[in-house]
Amino acid sequence: MLQYAAIAMLMLGLYGLLTQRNVIKIIVSLNIFEIGLNLFIISVGYVDDGIAPILTSNFNNNGLIFVDPLPSALVLTAIVIGVGTTALALALANNIYQKYGTFEIDEMGEE
Amino acid sequence: MKNFLAFVAVLVLGFLIITSLNNNEAFPNYGEADISERVSQAYIDRSATENPGDITFGETTDLESGPANIVTAIVADYRSFDTLGEVTVLFISSLGVALLLGGVNRKRIDLDFHPNFMLRVGSRALFGIILMTGVYVAIHGHLTPGGGFPGGAMIASSMLLLYLADDEFRVKIKGFKMLESVAGSLYVLIGLTGLLLISGGFFLENFLDNGVIGNLFSAGIVPIVYVLIGLKVGSEISGIIDNFLTEEAV
Amino acid sequence: MSAILLIAVPLLTAFVSILFKKYSHYMLIAVSFLSVFALGYMDLETITIGGFDAPFGIVLILDNYSLIGLYLVNILFFIVAVLNCKEYKKLSSILLVSLAGLNGLLLTGDLFNLFVFLEVAGIAAYLITTTNKKPLATFNYLVQGTLGSSLYLLGLILLYAMFGTLNMSDMAREIGTSGYGAGVTALPFLLMFIGFGVEAKLLPFNSWAKGILASSNSLSGPMIASVYAAAISLVFGRLLTNVFVIEGTLLTIVMGILVFSLVAGEAMAFSSKKVKEILLYSSVSQAALVVLVFMTGFAGWAVYLIIGNATAKLVLFLVTNIAAKQLGDDEVDTFKGLFTNNKVVGLAFTAVTLSVVGLPFFFGFVTKMNILENMFLSGAYVWPALILITSFIEGIYFIRLLLNLWHTDGDSPEVKFDFVLKYVVVVIAVLTMIFGVYTKPVQDSADDLVVYSITEGGNF
């Protein structure tokens, strides 16, 4: 089920990107899209009854079922990249506001 | 009308993706992924180079990759090169934010409210706790959940707290720049050490002893790299916060 | 020398350069020169990182294909950097990161690592385009670029879920031996194709390109239209020939996209009144042509097409942007008679344009002729006809543009080109003509360009 939720979230973000004309709302939509994507990546690695892929002291660690650790590692990278782009997008939004005095793309009267 | 069209298009697209995944014989159902068919099995067993047999926490020594946290083993050891790229992304976006928001002489943006004495002192006490938690998380990244990135974000959030609780406060940006640059350079230099100083070595090779799995001092270069990442991420995000909360002095 | 240095050294220099802002542009020039120089000492090999062999660790692949790409991108990058380092000192650190990102894109043999470098190079590109002073256009570029690379990541993760690996050659092998039909990979390949289509300016996905390139300057124009376009096309080519298996319905969809992009690009260039827009739409259709040639299987000639295009676009965008900066705008009417005062630059510009169109005795002719010949021999008659028609349209609007630039009734505008630029432009134009006439080395080497080590297994 989680995969469907993730895809629904992806589509929600895409809908926002297609319809919104406000710079900040576009950034929010982009973030929703990315979070949906991250959720989907995690869901791909889930195994029924799996535990977090960390070796701990109380067990002999063989024979335990771990969830797939690779998607988690990939998501870590994807999240950080998302943070970087969001920071940059917000700085650009600041520049746009200084230049046009508004966040609404339709009111900027250009392109 | 346009919104409705977009809504329909998005619904159709989502439906198409779900049905095509459902009808896809190669795509595993949720929860039924077979890890033994994936490369991840080798990360869990630490058998990418040779099979070490059973792994016992606190006893097994000299594995090919030492962290008890398997995700850390992938992020900072097996696929450390990705992490270098990831650090670079943060580095360049913090540079970009500074470039876009620009200006040499900067001062704090005037806020509508002025924090009182209690808030200032209280937040300073909290600052230390958050900072130490961040450092702890970064140092224990190879044993517990967390690591350099969450740790760095916590360090930056402690700075954010000070920024929000005190309308005069500014960090020493010069110092953070220095930290950022040194931490980043050291990461690359550690990588180059593996390549150049060890005969037959590789870039980003773990050239230190891996020790006993589960000990604080284990896993070779992984904790060192993770602490560097924590410092770098912390200083970069603090720099971004500073850029957003200051403006050019007129 | 290990090819990893091509990534590590620019990165290290970028990290150091933020402390020494005053000298950062010297660092940029030194590093970009050294990386061109160092390419001569690289051995062709598969480089393992961290000591874990493929598919467990990340590998870099240095074969003939990536070597020729590295030469092209590094030389063009060096030229653009030298011409702009004084004016855009502030961007030196960012350009260093972008050099590392581009080299990483060309070298990497791992699909997820490719995504990381796509983002590194991408964010550097967004920052380079901020010099246009059009924040809204840059914002559009950022949103669409991020969306594109996210779609690529989604496709990639679907492939991982099915085949359990991220390494390119391992992935190609798994897909080949898994015994599933082409149906299972259709969705991920389509997503990855669209993701790369955004970056490579294929038409339905490229609305960012207009805002960026129509207001570009002498740094961002050549950088995006020439250096980045070459790198992205080459990586796209590697995916198309080495990893993707495109068949059936998917092939029809993809070919439809390409034909639309090719024809619409030429049509829009034909109706444009601004010099930069003409160049921009022409490069859109050229990008589609390159992908088309890759897909029909003549990878060697596609590489030559990329080389020809990248060098030509470098000259065209440089000259146009410098002229537009001094004249104030880039309407064809303002440019009328531009070259009557600048005969040297004018001749070079003309030679390069004619090469793009594909007239005889220029480099572009050799590539186009061979592509057409090979397509005819393989029995596909639709594509040659399409390429001929679009080349014809291209010929009309480029020659119209050239006539306007050489001929005027009134005063001709005064534009000063500095010495370094003249030198670069003339050298490229002369090379275009030399290899247009002396075609033997080009003819002979086309197949050697695409000797991939990846298909021979790399490190198994």
CA distance C161 to chain A (A): 6
With contact defined as beta carbons under 8 Å apart, do C224 and C212 qualify? Answer: yes
The pTM of this model reads 0.92
Q: Which is nearest to C215 in space by CA: C91, C321, C338, C323? A: C321
Asked if the Cβ–Cβ distance from A3 to B11 is below 8 Å, we say: no
Architecture of A2-105 per CATH? Orthogonal Bundle (1.10)
Tens digit of pLDDT per residue, chain B (250 long)? 788 888 898 899 888 888 888 888 878 888 787 888 888 888 888 887 777 777 777 777 777 777 888 888 888 888 888 888 888 998 999 888 888 887 677 777 777 777 888 888 888 889 999 999 988 988 888 888 888 888 999 998 998 888 888 777 777 778 888 888 888 888 888 888 878 877 777 887 777 777 777 777 777 888 888 888 888 898 889 888 888 888 877 6
What residue in C sits closest to B97 (Cα-Cα)? C127
Q: Which of B3, B89, B212 to mutate to test the interface with A (most CBs of A within 10 A)?
A: B89
DSSP code at position A105? G
Give the integer Cα–Cα distance in Å for B135 and B229. Answer: 11
Q: Which chains touch C (3 or more CB pairs under 8 A)?
A: A, B
**Main-chain phi, psi angles of A104, to 5 degrees:** -80, 120
Longest pairwise C-alpha distance within chain A: 67
Interface ipTM > 0.85 = yes
Q: Does the pLDDT at position C458 exceed 70?
A: no
User: Measuring CA to CA, how many Å separate B236 from each of C7, C153, C346?
Assistant: 21, 25, 47
pLDDT greater at residue B150 or residue C360: B150
| A88 in contact with C, Cβ within 8 Å | yes
For C288-332, the pLDDT digits (tens) are 888 888 888 788 888 888 888 888 888 888 888 888 888 877 777
User: Measuring CA to CA, how many Å separate C23 from each of C7, C28, C54, C90?
Assistant: 20, 9, 40, 11
Q: Which residues of B touch A99 (CB under 8 A)?
A: none
Ramachandran quadrant class, C61 (left: phi over 0; alpha: psi -120 to 50; beta: rest): beta
Give the integer Cα–Cα distance in Å for A26 and A42. Answer: 24
Burial class (CB in 10 A: 0-12, 13-18, 19+), B145: middle
Give the integer Cα–Cα distance in Å for C259 and C264. Answer: 8
Structure tokens at C117: 């470098």
C5-17 vs C24-38: helix crossing angle, rounded to 10: 170
| C61 in contact with B, Cβ within 8 Å | no
What residue in B sits closest to C94 (Cα-Cα)? B92
pLDDT greater at residue C51 or residue C458: C51
DSSP B137-183: HHHTTTTSS--HHHHHHHHHHHHHHHHHH-TT----HHHHHHHHHHH
Burial class (CB in 10 A: 0-12, 13-18, 19+), C381: exposed
Q: Which is nearest to B98 in space by CA: C130, C198, C446, A78? A: C130
Q: Which chains touch B (3 or more CB pairs under 8 A)?
A: A, C
Contacts of B82 (CB under 8 A, 6+ apart): A77, B75, C58, C112, C113, C116
Q: Which residues of A touch B21 (CB under 8 A)?
A: 3
CA distance B146 to chain C (A): 21
**Main-chain phi, psi angles of C425, to 5 degrees:** -60, -45
pLDDT of residue A27: 93
Residues 201-220 of B with CB under 8 A from C: 201-206
Asked if the Cβ–Cβ distance from C12 to B192 is below 8 Å, we say: yes
Residues from C contacting A (CB-CB < 8 Å) are 112, 116, 119, 123, 126-127, 130, 135-139, 142-143, 146-147, 150, 153-154, 157-158, 160-161, 166, 211
pLDDT greater at residue A39 or residue B215: A39
pLDDT of residue C457: 42
Q: Does the pLDDT at position C373 exceed 60?
A: yes
Q: Which of A26, A28, A32, A95 to mutate to test the interface with C (most CBs of C within 10 A)?
A: A95
Q: Which residues of B touch A43 (CB under 8 A)?
A: 30
For C197-248, the pLDDT digits (tens) are 888 887 777 778 777 877 788 888 888 888 888 899 888 888 888 787 777 7
**Torsion angle (degrees, nearest 10) of CA C168, C250, C286, C159:** -20
pLDDT of residue C381: 80
Size of interface A-B (CB pairs under 8 A): 143
DSSP chain B: -HHHHHHHHHHHHHHHHHHHHHT-SSSPPTBB--GGGSTHHHHHHT-SSS-----BTTT-B--SS--SBHHHHIIIIITHHHHHHHHHHHHHHHHHHHHHH--SSEEEPPPSS---HHHHHHHHHHHHHHHHHHHHHHHTTTTSS--HHHHHHHHHHHHHHHHHH-TT----HHHHHHHHHHHHHHHHHHHHHHHHTSTT--BT---S---BTTSSS-STHHHHHHHHHHHHHHHHHHHHHHHHHEEE--
Asked if the Cβ–Cβ distance from B30 to A3 is below 8 Å, we say: yes
Of B30, B83, B233, the CB nearest to A1: B30
Cis omega (within 30 of 0) for bond into C55: yes
pLDDT of residue A90: 92
SS (H, E, C) chain C: CCCCHHHHHHHHHHHHHCCCHHHHHHHHHHHHHHHHHHHHHCCCEEEEECCCCCCCCCEEEECHHHHHHHHHHHHHHHHHHHHHCCCCHHHHHHHHHHHHHHHHHHHECEHHHHHHHHHHHHHHHHHHHHHHCCHHHHHHHHHHHHHHHHHHHHHHHHHHHHHCCCEHHHHHHHHHHCCCCCHHHHHHHHHHHHHHHHHCCCHHHCHHHHHHHCCCCCCHHHHHHHHHHHHHHHHHHHHHHHHCCCCHHHHHHHHHHHHHHHHHHHHHHHHCCEHHHHHHHHHHHHHHHHHHHHHHCCHHHHHHHHHHHHHHHHHHHHHHHHHHHHHCCCEHHHHCCHHHCCHHHHHHHHHHHHHHHCCCCCHHHHHHHHHHHHHHHCCCCHHHHHHHHHHHHHHHHHHHHHHHHHCCCCCCCCCCCCHHHHHHHHHHHHHHHHHHHCCHHHHHHCCHHHCCCHHHCCCC
pLDDT of residue C399: 86
Q: Does the pLDDT at position A31 exceed 90?
A: yes
Q: Does the pLDDT at position A28 exceed 90?
A: yes
Asked if the Cβ–Cβ distance from B101 to A60 is below 8 Å, we say: no
Asked if the Cβ–Cβ distance from B244 to A91 is below 8 Å, we say: yes
**Main-chain phi, psi angles of C281, to 5 degrees:** -70, -30
| B18 in contact with C, Cβ within 8 Å | no
Q: Which residues of A touch B213 (CB under 8 A)?
A: 55
* Local confidence band at C454 (pLDDT 50, 70, 90 cut-offs): low
Contacts of C235 (CB under 8 A, 6+ apart): C105, C106, C114, C196
Asked if the Cβ–Cβ distance from C162 to B24 is below 8 Å, we say: yes
pLDDT of residue C287: 86
Give the integer Cα–Cα distance in Å for B9 and B11. Answer: 5
Of A81, A110, A111, the CB nearest to C119: A81
Asked if the Cβ–Cβ distance from B31 to A47 is below 8 Å, we say: yes
With contact defined as beta carbons under 8 Å apart, do B84 and C11 qualify? Answer: yes
- Helix/strand/coil for A110: coil
Asked if the Cβ–Cβ distance from B188 to C18 is below 8 Å, we say: no
Q: Which chains touch A (3 or more CB pairs under 8 A)?
A: B, C
With contact defined as beta carbons under 8 Å apart, do C302 and C65 qualify? Answer: no
Q: Does the pLDDT at position C455 exceed 70?
A: no
| C47 in contact with B, Cβ within 8 Å | yes
pLDDT of residue A61: 56
- pLDDT above 90: percentage of residues in chain A: 32
Asked if the Cβ–Cβ distance from C123 to A44 is below 8 Å, we say: no
